[in-house]
């Protein structure tokens, strides 16, 4: 696990070294940054921007250390300007990407939201991931349990889950096996390390 508690969800594939901790790990546990032509550090959550990548663990404390110790400039070997509130910007970008992935899973039939639908999937053992809003009612959330051998995501907010399902807010959601589920879980683990308050652990 990384320092932020995010699991190394990609056991194979390319690995990169965090410029702060020196730890080498699969790319899924890090955030890629590039330096723009005008010298600004830009988080590249989708890993598509041109330029040499600067990799930092998906951990708010590690990013804060990188800012404090001017690790970006050392890694880039040039002066680097950092946008204000960089950890918050990274968290927001990862959260938006996670919501987009969850929305795509919904459109493909691999995700549902709402207490009754989620309960039905859990009862039928169709759900492999339970998602519950960090700001949802604890009493309501306790009525649903993480699938046996499955995963729990509990650090998205009700508004964010709702966005993925085309509604104002949603407290409960579930994912079936296959499709985009693995990518959603991986991105959720990155977000967990970046959230200042990732919320409590899931129900048993």
Which homologous superfamily does the CATH classification assign to the domain defined by 15-83? YlxR-like (3.30.1230.10)
Q: Where in the chain is the domain with CATH 3.30.1330.30?
A: 90-194
Q: How confident is the model at residue 21 (pLDDT cuts 50, 70, 90)?
A: very high
Q: Could you tell me the fold of the domain covering 90-194? A: 60s Ribosomal Protein L30; Chain: A; (3.30.1330)
Q: Where in the chain is the domain with CATH 3.30.1230.10?
A: 15-83
Distance CA 148, CA 127 (A): 10
Residue 6 has pLDDT above 60, yes or no: no
- Model pTM? 0.88
Condensed to tens digits (0 to 9), the pLDDT of residues 185-201 reads 999 999 999 997 766 55
Condensed to tens digits (0 to 9), the pLDDT of residues 54-108 reads 999 999 999 999 999 999 999 999 999 999 999 999 999 999 999 999 999 999 9
Distance CA 183, CA 72 (A): 28
Q: What is the pLDDT of residue 199?
A: 62
Please state the separation of Cα 39 from the chain's center in Å.
27
């Amino acid at each position: 696990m990384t320092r932020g508690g995010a699991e190394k969800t990609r056991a194979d594939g390319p690995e990169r070294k965090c410029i702060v901790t020196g730890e080498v790990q699969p790319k899924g546990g890090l955030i890629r940054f590039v330096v723009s032509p005008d010298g600004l550090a830009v988080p590249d959550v989708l890993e598509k921007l041109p330029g040499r990548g600067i990799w930092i663990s998906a951990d708010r404390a590690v990013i804060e250390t990188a800012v404090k110790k001017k690790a970006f400039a050392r890694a880039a070997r040039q002066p680097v300007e950092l946008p204000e509130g960089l950890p918050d910007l990274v968290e927001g970008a990862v959260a938006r990407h996670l919501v987009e992935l969850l929305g795509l899973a919904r459109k493909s039939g691999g995700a549902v939201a709402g207490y009754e639908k989620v309960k039905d999937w859990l009862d039928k053992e169709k759900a492999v991931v339970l998602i519950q809003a960090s700001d949802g009612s604890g009493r309501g959330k306790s009525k649903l349990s993480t699938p046996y051998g499955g995963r729990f995501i509990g650090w998205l907010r009700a508004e964010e889950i709702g966005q993925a399902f085309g509604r104002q807010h949603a407290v409960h959601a579930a994912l079936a096996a296959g499709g985009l589920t693995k990518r959603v879980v991986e991105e959720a683990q990155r977000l967990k390390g970046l959230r200042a308050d990732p919320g409590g652990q899931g129900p048993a």
